[in-house]
Structure 1
Amino acid sequence: MLTRLPAAPWTARSDLAMLVDALGPDNLRWVGGAVRDTLLEQPVKDVDAATPLLPDDVLARLATAGIRAVPTGIAHGTVTAVLPDGPVEITTLRRDVATDGRHATIAFASEWRDDAARRDFTINALYADPRTLEISDWFDGLADLAQRRVRFIGDPVQRIREDHLRILRYYRFQARFGAELDEAAEAACAELAPTLKGLSRERVAMELLNLLALPDPAATLARMDAAGVLPIALPERSAEGIALLHQLIGWEQAHAMVPDPLRRLAALLPADPRPAEQAAARLRLSTAQRKRLALAAGRQASDRDDPRALAYRLGRAEALDRLALTGGDPSPLAGWDVPAFPLKGGAIIARGITAGPDVARLLRTVEDRWIDRRFPGPDATAALLDEVLAADRRS
């Protein structure tokens, strides 16, 4: 088993060496995702560090070294060092003093183990020395990582009672890293599922969408449903949602589509805009997300008939949602730009029609025929107008 962090591109960053020099190698350890993902040979997005130095001392030392620092979470001990190759969050060692399931009162600590003990999972409590890359592991996180097991530090029930969001975080990490299930963690999540009701809707939405963005979270969502977690996190879900999510993931893979968490959320909901709008409002999604989710929920089998007409009427992304959720063929949209309707109301008025509702009615009729005839150019559209006007006069 590895006890030293393998060399990776980020460990050789010259700006990180500047940071280590500024704080002192004994006062800094890499921690969390960067350590975990390097051990798993996965790409590292963000680098985080822990330090026994107090925030004011961190700020002072960075200023002396000429490194710009932003007190992004100073109340919780976090300072962000703005470096040429990417920011680094530096957080003073902490321990929890009191928790209520949503917020924690913390105190700064001086021992690395105290800081590790307050973290959620063993695989997130691995610290690496910046000079030797030696790993500090107090809770067998390396063994869990080797087994692809997501395990709470300490008693899972207690850890979830400290922060109810850890239920959703557990499932997200299990979907991403897990192969071997931890029975104690699964049981604790099921037992304490009702505590999710006390969380802010934004936090629940963030975790759900992050989970749905993973390559294949369907099996995890099925376990969440069986454990009673999903019904609380997403009460609007449909009975067929998990099965449709499986199908959607297969469709994405077959068509080389990047996973889209909002589209996958739509798969979990009924084919009815009303519950989709309710879910979007409850999760406090953005206006654009709410509209897209409601449009996706309006899906029907006929959406597969004419993908380009669907894209013109709804929008490209919205049409892809409908096609994905109904198993349609997206290839007609590849490399195709949605055209603009080449006719304005003025052209109808110029033909002697009085401005008013008749102009709008005739314009809609011409547009429908234009769509049916696969979006012809201006001359053909003018001919369509002639057809419509002639038929209208006969009627």
Structure 2
Amino acid sequence: MNGPCCLAKLSTRAFPSLALNLRQRSRWMKTMAVHMSPREPSPELIAQLGKPPRMRTNPAFKKVQTPEFQSIFTPELKELVALFDKYDYELRIAGGAVRDILMSIPPKDIDLATTATPEQMKEMFEKEEVRMINANGEKHGTITPRINDKENFEVTTLRIDIRTDGRHAEVMYTTDWQLDANRRDLTINSMFLGFDGTVYDYFYGYDDLQERRVVFVGDADVRIKEDFLRILRYFRFYGRIAHEENNHDEATLAAIKENAGGLARISGERIWTELQKIVVGNYGPALLLEMHRCHLFEHIGLPVEPNLEEFERLCAALEHFEKPHYPILYMTGMLHSAEDAMAMHKRLKLSAYERDLARFITQEREKVGTEYTTLRDYQKLCLQKYIQRDYVEQLLKYSDKQELYNQLKSWVKPNFPIRGNALAEHGLKGIRLGLVMDELKLLWADSDFQLSHDDLVKKIPDVLEKIPSSPSKVKSMK
């Protein structure tokens, strides 16, 4: 065998002759992909990447020496770069950090790519007595050295995907920077940056960045099928990059619609992580509506027929309040009912706070302006068990009640003057004690919070007359 260049032929010719089943074939390919040394992949394997993108004749076409670029050079990074130079492995900045530097944004995180394999990096770091952390990254080709016990760097071997299922990929290492760039999602994320300031741009990502275009590398359909979460990444980066609210590439939207069902295979946690960034970013509401037109909602936990009129009203209302807003607040506007809120939670695995806020707003929003009209009404709502004050404030924001919202925000809630042990002295316990406490809080609020401990104790008999003594009847009131 001649290594990786024979991989595609072996998978289609040699294995059938050996009568290996599919599971054995998959295990063999995965093992080979992880441990083989980098070589040039076969033409058949390259063909899996889809139609060749429009390519720049000279990818190393530009140099930068901006303050944003210079800001990354910590002593630790300089030491890491020198180490790779010493062992004659090429190292470049990859992905988002390159994009940010070219947009004059200081990068928060720096991802690095290299021609060295994980085994070669481990050997190098062990020889130089450099500590390595995050062993789990190795299966993805990533090694994380910690330099001078101060700074961690994620360094990933150049690779191509030899097998994908829309969520995970089996990879083969390569020394070809263009092939690694070709497996990335968007052209603006496919650039590299050398430590001398050279920009390496194979697919005109620099031009797309200057024109604020968000397009996939090569064949959008192929890129999306490699990882269906890229559908949501497209919308997130559109919000970050585009200058116009609705200037999408039509071929890209067509590929997204065609592959919408693939999102059903992505975990709710990963989807919610992307959605949160989309809805509070630039053009968030417009992008959510575009996602609806692409038929994504049924696969990400939102109603197939969302509450669009309510959502548009909510977005207009939130313009009257200081940002940022909770992402879940926007999502709630798309819902028709508390049942929709629970269905969304089931799909997206919301936090307990997000779940309860969405359910609270969908249950209470129709009462705003009818049952709830005064500041006192909202203060009393804040006193109810299991209702956080922030829920009530968000309800007022949701309902565009600006004056009431400001009044409630500035309200200093006094301490309730009676404790549970005072009620226990009257023979109350369990559910009945809680119900009496709730009633006393409402009486206290109606007195403009003036009733004292003794005043409230005197009212216990009257409150008890309203509360049934039968445990079953008490439970029916809950």
> C-alpha distance in 1, partners of 2:463/2:363?
33
> C-alpha distance in 1, partners of 2:466/2:171?
81
| Partner of residue 223, structure 2 | 159
> What is the CA distance between 1:348 and its match in structure 2?
3.7
In the alignment, which of 316, 328, 337 is matched to residue 389 of structure 2? 316
Residue type at the aligned position of 2:391 = E
Question: TM-score normalised to the size of structure 1?
Answer: 0.87
> C-alpha distance in 1, partners of 2:432/2:257?
61
Tell me the alpha carbon deviations over residues 51-99 of structure 1, each in whole angstroms, 9 at most, x when there is no partner: 1111122233334445432234111101223356653211100011112
| Partner of residue 18, structure 2 | none
> In structure 1, the residue corresponding to 2:441 is in which secondary structure?
helix
In the alignment, which of 433, 436, 443 is matched to residue 362 of structure 1? 436
The structure with the largest alpha-carbon Rg is 2
> What is the CA distance between 1:288 and its match in structure 2?
4.1
| Partner of residue 15, structure 1 | 76
> What is the CA distance between 1:40 and its match in structure 2?
1.6
Residue type at the aligned position of 1:7 = P
- The answer to whether the 8 A contact 1:53-1:92 is kept is yes
> C-alpha distance in 1, partners of 2:446/2:423?
20
Alignment of 1:235-314 (within 5 A): 235-236=302-303, 239-241=306-308, 243-270=309-336, 272-300=337-365, 301-302=367-368, 305-306=374-375, 307-313=378-384, 314=387
Distance 1:211 1:367, change over 3 A: same
> In structure 1, the residue corresponding to 2:216 is in which secondary structure?
coil
Structure 1: state its 5+ residue gaps.
none
- In the alignment, does 2:238 pair up with 1:174? yes
Tell me the alpha carbon deviations over residues 322-379 of structure 1, each in whole angstroms, 9 at most, x when there is no partner: 22221233323435555553312332454xx433576544332211112334444xx6
- The answer to whether the 8 A contact 1:117-1:153 is kept is yes
Identity %: 28
Structure 1 range deviating more: 49-58 or 214-223: 214-223
> C-alpha distance in 1, partners of 2:428/2:463?
19
In the alignment, which of 225, 229, 240 is matched to residue 296 of structure 2? 229
Structure 1 range deviating more: 309-318 or 121-130: 309-318
> In structure 2, the residue corresponding to 1:149 is in which secondary structure?
coil
| Partner of residue 60, structure 1 | 123
- The answer to whether the 8 A contact 1:304-1:323 is kept is no
> In structure 1, the residue corresponding to 2:364 is in which secondary structure?
coil
Tell me the alpha carbon deviations over residues 17-50 of structure 1, each in whole angstroms, 9 at most, x when there is no partner: 1221122285210011111112222342211000
Distance 1:390 1:184, change over 3 A: closer
Structure 1 range deviating more: 98-107 or 381-390: 381-390
Question: TM-score normalised to the size of structure 2?
Answer: 0.73
> What is the CA distance between 1:266 and its match in structure 2?
1.9
- Higher RCO structure, 1 or 2 (CA under 8 Å, sep 6+): 2
Tell me the alpha carbon deviations over residues 234-273 of structure 1, each in whole angstroms, 9 at most, x when there is no partner: 34366334x5445545554533232322222222222x22
Distance 1:349 1:289, change over 3 A: closer
- The answer to whether the 8 A contact 1:149-1:177 is kept is yes
> C-alpha distance in 2, partners of 1:7/1:142?
18
> C-alpha distance in 1, partners of 2:209/2:170?
29
> What is the CA distance between 1:15 and its match in structure 2?
1.8
> C-alpha distance in 2, partners of 1:267/1:288?
17
Task: Tell me how large the CA RMSD over aligned residues is.
Answer: 2.9
Structure 1 range deviating more: 43-52 or 10-19: 10-19
- The answer to whether the 8 A contact 1:281-1:290 is kept is no
In the alignment, which of 147, 150, 153 is matched to residue 214 of structure 2? 150
> C-alpha distance in 2, partners of 1:118/1:43?
25
> What is the CA distance between 1:101 and its match in structure 2?
1.8
| Partner of residue 343, structure 1 | 418
Alignment of 1:34-73 (within 5 A): 34-70=97-133, 71-73=135-137
Distance 1:10 1:284, change over 3 A: same
Distance 1:390 1:54, change over 3 A: closer
> What is the CA distance between 1:118 and its match in structure 2?
0.3
Tell me the alpha carbon deviations over residues 77-131 of structure 1, each in whole angstroms, 9 at most, x when there is no partner: 012233566532111000111122222111011111111010000000110002x
Distance 1:16 1:365, change over 3 A: same
- The answer to whether the 8 A contact 2:132-2:143 is kept is yes
> C-alpha distance in 2, partners of 1:268/1:239?
5
| Partner of residue 140, structure 1 | 204
> C-alpha distance in 2, partners of 1:146/1:59?
38
| Partner of residue 269, structure 2 | 202
- The answer to whether the 8 A contact 1:150-1:178 is kept is yes
- In the alignment, does 2:81 pair up with 1:6? no
> What is the CA distance between 1:158 and its match in structure 2?
1.6
Tell me the alpha carbon deviations over residues 155-197 of structure 1, each in whole angstroms, 9 at most, x when there is no partner: 1112112222211111111122123422211111112212222
- The answer to whether the 8 A contact 2:260-2:295 is kept is yes
> In structure 2, the residue corresponding to 1:334 is in which secondary structure?
helix
Structure 1 range deviating more: 85-94 or 64-73: 64-73
- In the alignment, does 2:193 pair up with 1:128? yes
Aligned residues: 388
- The answer to whether the 8 A contact 2:115-2:158 is kept is yes
| Partner of residue 177, structure 2 | 112
